[in-house]
Structure 1
Amino acid sequence: MKRARLPMLAVLPVAVISFVIAVPFVLGDHPLQWSSGSLAPHLVLDGKEHTQRADTEGGDSKTSAATSPTTEVAKVDKVWKKGMPQWGAQLYWEDNPEHSLTYIEKQARLHANYLVGLHANSVSVSFPFFTGTRSSTKISAGDKTPTPDHLARVLRIFHEAGLRTTVRPLMDEHSLTAENGWRGNIKPADREAWFTSYEKFLTPYLKAADSEKATTFVIGTELTSLQGDPHWDGVVDDAEKLFGGEVAYDANWDAYVTGPVTMPVTHLGIDAYFPVKVGDNASVSTLVAGWNKWLDRKATGPLPKITIAEAGIGAMKGAYHAPGDFYTTRAVNPQVQANWYTAVCQVVQERHMSGVYWWSIYFDDDPNTKPDDKVASRLDFAGRPLTEKAITSCFTSGYAGPGDETAS
């Protein structure tokens, strides 16, 4: 029997939404051209509707519930079960062939302890794979792509901590920038060849994810131009033969709001970087209203089948206008980031969504240190006490998760 797809019903007039989306693209507001960004609709699935640190940003000394790297791994407060919220972060991992397994294990324990210190129960491991030009038909691993064996070891350590795990391959975009391209507008010259190559690349990672009992495998992320292609049926069918967990797809926010997003998967995530055109002093309630205004364009009320696969914002002035702006380095404003995180968490809870993953932590970083704002991305949240306090407050809020909506 053919798998039910995920139909997203577009409800906005084309002219209006085209203007809303086009302006941010022209102004460079498209989130994370090499690493991501995304919006929100009415989801119909199978016919149903579905750490604490110091309070100030300045000092060098910090008090953290996250521990230094040791041979021991801290344990989550409560292991995730179906129906509970997914409280997590995206861990972005560019591997290095010169890194030893000892180093990789040390970093995995460091991040596991940090996440447990924030009271997270989930982690998503994002890592790059590579292509050529927009028309290329070949997908490949590169030096920065973790090997399946390395991935399996990292997943094992996260499981030792009791963390729910997601595996999330993410197309690197550096080779596409010369053509003003990104992963969402590739145009393979031969789609059958592209999907064959992509499936060959995914196979060992699906096996590694299955061997370590990962909960979710994201079969594609922000591949907007390929959404709805019939080749996905075969790719997902084969993935489900290799991987016993949930097969998901993460849509980019502009594709999600303009819909439909039609993919043969059991779950949809959103890389959610909704621009809210307000000043730096905007209240949390104003930011919540801004998010809900976007979400309501697709559906009002609960969204229990939707996960915010990415949410983040730069800790800097003017960030609300372009929350996924990876490149800009305006003056640091920690309160902007902290308020955004608080608002997103409130939206997730009020809309009974299945959880949120904050973008992001980098695998080679020490999350217990203050970021060097001369070189670090403004989107980094690890080491920013105000944001970490907002995350901890979110993760310990007592929100029961979307199970309340799905059980009835």
Structure 2
Amino acid sequence: MNPMKRMAAAWSALVVLFVGAGCSSSGGDEEDTPQPAPSASGPSTRPADGDTGAFRGMTLPSWNTHDYDSPQAATYLQQIAATGARWVTLTPTWYQDRVTDSELRTTEETASDESLRSIIRRAHDAGLAIMVKPHVDLVKGGDRAGIRPADPDAWFAAYRRFITHYADLAADTGVEQLSVGTELAGTSQDGARWSGVIAAVRGRYRGRLTYAANYDEYRNVPFWKDLDVIGIDAYWPLADRATTDGAQLREAWKPIADELAAFSERQQRKVLFTEAGYVSQRGTTTAPYSWTVSKSDGSAEQAAAYEALLASFDGKAWWAGVCWWMWDDWPDSGETAKHLAYTPHGKPAEEVLRRWWAHTG
């Protein structure tokens, strides 16, 4: 989820239901368990090899340089683990000024490498496996899907430097999975250049790789077979009006699940929901991608949406799991009041997660 969209509803509201996926599963085969990347200086403890399990995850995004090494970090990780999650996703972000630019840079909103190393150690100590999912955003806001560089060669050269930086860090810290990109629909159809980026990452990092395509982007991505798993940010609208009707929501997922199953078979890759989430606002199932659907409490609708996704996909052989967007904002950084935000913490949706996850292996 683009953090710049925290100021307004994102993406097109005219999108119709067509195909989708998410980031959590209680069933998984031994062959799907990612192996930690070799590391010369890995964490003091980490999930044992073969024990990272199906991807039952929660995103803990960063908005500032020192979020990940703040005193709150350890508390958040313990809370995430208490839901039954086995994975946490971290999102260091670099920025460019305009959609046509070729330069990527860090800002005061970019998590420092030191803070990333710190939270990776803490997450492993808490028994969590890790996906690092670097983001690129625009300094003045806007949708990263609109990035279309005027000089593609220069942009991809800059992007390769950016993503291999995190491949090195992931390899050095024993991170279990890395996303090579997130919702870059304006560039993701350039299969040749992306294959070159992925090859450069493979030369530095031996863990599992994915790319986090938006739900209306994934079918146009030509490089899935260069990766280990198909990643989809699963923000499909499920209703045309606010609802807590679980049967209706599960019915809405059926054609999406059918399309994803067929796509998975064609690509010979499992589908991971690299993001899925719902604000606790009335109407969230009509526009899951929006931070600002309404000003009315929708915690029951959020919980119903969590339940429907897990009930619709859990146990499907082609589904690798779900990573929910997102846990609590850092103190003083949230632009959406917690009782209306994406976090399930302290809401009925957290209890849904505990029922599905806490007692599964």
* Aligned AA (2:253): W
Q: For 2:329 and 2:21, locate their aligned partners in 1 and report how far apart those are by CA, in whole Å.
A: 29
* Aligned AA (1:331): S
TM-score, normalization: structure 2? 0.79
Structure 1 residue 333: Cα displacement: 1.8
* Aligned AA (1:241): G
> Between the two proteins, what is the percent identity of the paired residues?
22
Q: How does 1:258-277 map to 2 (within 5 A)?
A: 258-263=219-224, 264-277=226-239
Q: For 1:130 and 1:358, locate their aligned partners in 2 and report how far apart those are by CA, in whole Å.
A: 23
* Aligned AA (2:326): S
Provide the secondary structure at the position in 2 that maps to 1:144.
coil
Residues 140-190 of structure 1: per-residue CA shift (max 9 Å, x gap): 11111112222111101101112110101112235353xxxx211211011
Provide the secondary structure at the position in 2 that maps to 1:361.
coil
Q: Which residue of 2 aligns with 1:286?
A: 248
Provide the secondary structure at the position in 2 that maps to 1:211.
helix
Q: For 1:202 and 1:238, locate their aligned partners in 2 and report how far apart those are by CA, in whole Å.
A: 9
Q: Which residue of 1 aligns with 2:129?
A: 164
**Segments of 4+ moved more than 6 angstroms:** 301-304, 371-374
Structure 1 residue 204: Cα displacement: 2.8
Q: For 2:94 and 2:321, locate their aligned partners in 1 and report how far apart those are by CA, in whole Å.
A: 26
Structure 1 residue 301: Cα displacement: 10
Q: For 2:130 and 2:200, locate their aligned partners in 1 and report how far apart those are by CA, in whole Å.
A: 21
Q: For 1:167 and 1:134, locate their aligned partners in 2 and report how far apart those are by CA, in whole Å.
A: 24
Is 1:346–2:311 an aligned residue pair? yes
TM-score, normalization: structure 1? 0.71
Q: Which residue of 1 aligns with 2:154?
A: 193
Unaligned runs of 5+ in 1: 1-23, 31-37, 42-49, 51-74, 401-408
Structure 1 residue 81: Cα displacement: 3.3
Aligned match for 2:57, one of 75, 88, 96: 88
Q: Which residue of 2 aligns with 1:224?
A: 185
Structure 1 residue 260: Cα displacement: 4.8
Unaligned runs of 5+ in 2: 1-9, 23-31, 33-44
Is 1:39–2:4 an aligned residue pair? no
Distance change (3 Å), C-alpha of 1:268 and 1:299: closer
Distance change (3 Å), C-alpha of 1:187 and 1:85: same
Structure 1 residue 228: Cα displacement: 3.6
Distance change (3 Å), C-alpha of 1:80 and 1:117: farther
Larger Rg: 1
Give the number of aligned pairs: 323
Is 1:361–2:330 an aligned residue pair? no
Distance change (3 Å), C-alpha of 1:81 and 1:262: same
Distance change (3 Å), C-alpha of 1:273 and 1:220: same
Distance change (3 Å), C-alpha of 1:253 and 1:186: same
Q: How does 1:98-177 map to 2 (within 5 A)?
A: 104=69, 106-177=71-142
Q: Which residue of 2 aligns with 1:69?
A: none
* Aligned AA (1:166): M
Q: Which residue of 2 aligns with 1:184?
A: 145
Give me the CA root mean square deviation.
3.2
Structure 1 residue 93: Cα displacement: 0.6
